[in-house]
Amino acid sequence: MAAVQQVVLTPYTAGVGAYTAFARAALPHGQRVMLIGGHNALLAGEARLIAAIRGTGLHIVGRLVVGPPCSMAQAQQTAQAARDAGAQMICGMGGGKAIDIAKAAGELAGLPVFAMPTIAATCAAVTALSVMYHPDGAFDRFLFLSHPPVHAYIDMDVMAAAPWQYLRAGLGDSLAKHVETPFSARSQALTQADSMGVALAQGLWAPLAASGAQALADNRAGIVSPALELAALTSIVTVGYVSLLVREQFNGALAHSLYYAMEHLPAMQQVLHGDAVGWGALVQLVLDEQMDKAKALLSLLRALGTPCSLGEMGIEQEDAAVIAGLRAAVGQPDMACLPYAVTADDVLRAVAGARALAEEAVN
């Protein structure tokens, strides 16, 4: 008999004024809210949240500004702050790292977590996972949580006011999921939930190709539009649902492994996660000899303005530390379930091939 499987998908509320719906879902858990977020995120959303809960019975009993890295130490400190404040729930506001800290703290403190993403760079607002780092910024581990956030609130006014670079990063992360999940799941026996997740991942291409560039233009102009909403919800919700539906071994492959193997390098500190994994998806397609798809992805990345090589990210590909990082990608957790064996030399050849493809397209 198959093992018991439980799938919990975080419900979400999206649109202008989305925070006004928070009280309805929060009040069954109590009235005392611990607000956790990044500095810029709280500037973007805190006043909106305070206005939205005025007169509802909810009140904020603690406010904590968190920042990178998202470490176990910071999660433990945040959980203790929530306990000390007598909080009955945690509201995580911000980007991926701030929400990951809120989720980890909720897990440690035994408190329900609500997510309010202020940028569309990651799917952290709906996933049951926190990516943890060492204090020096190096990747530590994936902290798997017992459940995802209770509810996510995506205010489109906040999304429209956010720096457009984060939306572009979210689109890159979405394209990486489109490439990685079907690759990892290839030739594997899939459960019903796996099949749904793979189908969602395969369906990520069409909305991003159709609306991604327009969404970025609208974001730059600060305009709430159907294109912006579609792109933001695809990056936050659809990608997150893929992660919740498929087994963990299907959630990543080479694109994310390249990032985690190199993100500690000084040259990578100014590169957004989504930009890096968008390039990584191109490398993976070259590795897999899907050259027609690689060319299509390259064209879309160019339309979005995403860097398509290490050089375009300002990173010297021949640097010894960079080469060591590229070679280390094969040892990352996301490389544990691939349809065939991949060596460090294979990765180096794919990186070189992706660079040649990008340079050829420019010339």
What the chain holds in terms of domains, given with CATH numbers, is 12-161 (3.40.50.1970), 164-362 (1.20.1090.10)
| Residue 177, phi then psi, degrees to nearest 5 | -65, -40
Contact between 4 and 146 (Cβ < 8 Å): no
Tell me: the pLDDT tens digits for 311-335?
999 999 999 999 999 999 999 999 9
| Residue 179, phi then psi, degrees to nearest 5 | -85, -40
The model's confidence at residue 2, banded by pLDDT at 50, 70 and 90, is low
CA atoms within 13 A on the CB side of 306: 33
Residue 1 has pLDDT above 60, yes or no: no
**Nearest of 344, 361, 354, 338 to residue 283 by alpha carbon:** 354
- Strand-pair partners of 121: none
The model's confidence at residue 105, banded by pLDDT at 50, 70 and 90, is very high
Give ∠ CA 223-228-229 in degrees, rounded to 5. Answer: 115
- The Cβ of residue 197 has, within 10 Å, a number of other Cβ atoms equal to 26
Contact between 150 and 90 (Cβ < 8 Å): no
CA dihedral of residues 228, 229, 231, 236 (deg, nearest 10) = 130
Average pLDDT for residues 72-90, to the nearest whole number?
A: 96
Q: How far is CA 53 from the centre of its chain?
A: 28
Average pLDDT for residues 151-163, to the nearest whole number?
A: 98
Average pLDDT for residues 197-225, to the nearest whole number?
A: 97
pLDDT score at 5: 80
Residue 363 has pLDDT above 70, yes or no: no
Question: Residue holding tokens 């998908």?
Answer: 9
pLDDT score at 294: 98
Q: Mean pLDDT score of the chain, rounded to an integer?
A: 95
Cα–Cα distance list, 238 to 167, 201, 204, 205, 306 (Å): 14, 8, 8, 11, 21
- Strand-pair partners of 287: none
Tell me: the pLDDT tens digits for 243-294?
999 999 999 999 999 999 998 888 898 999 999 999 999 999 999 999 999 9
pLDDT score at 264: 86
Of 2 and 113, the structure prediction assigns the larger pLDDT to 113
Query: How much of the chain exceeds pLDDT 90, in percent?
Result: 91
Tell me: the pLDDT tens digits for 23-34?
999 999 999 999
pLDDT score at 4: 79
Tell me: the pLDDT tens digits for 133-155?
988 877 888 899 999 999 999 99
Q: How far apart are CA 177 and CA 292, in angstroms?
A: 18
Contacts of 103 (CB under 8 A, 6+ apart): 92, 113, 115, 124, 128, 129, 130, 145, 148, 149
The model's confidence at residue 239, banded by pLDDT at 50, 70 and 90, is very high
Residue 266 in tokens: 């000084």
Residue 88 in tokens: 């009955």
First to last CA, the chain: 58
Cα–Cα distance list, 29 to 22, 48, 78, 294 (Å): 12, 21, 19, 48
Residue 130 has pLDDT above 50, yes or no: yes
Residue 197 has pLDDT above 70, yes or no: yes
Q: How far apart are CA 212 and CA 231, in angstroms?
A: 6
pLDDT score at 135: 86
- The Cβ of residue 199 has, within 10 Å, a number of other Cβ atoms equal to 13
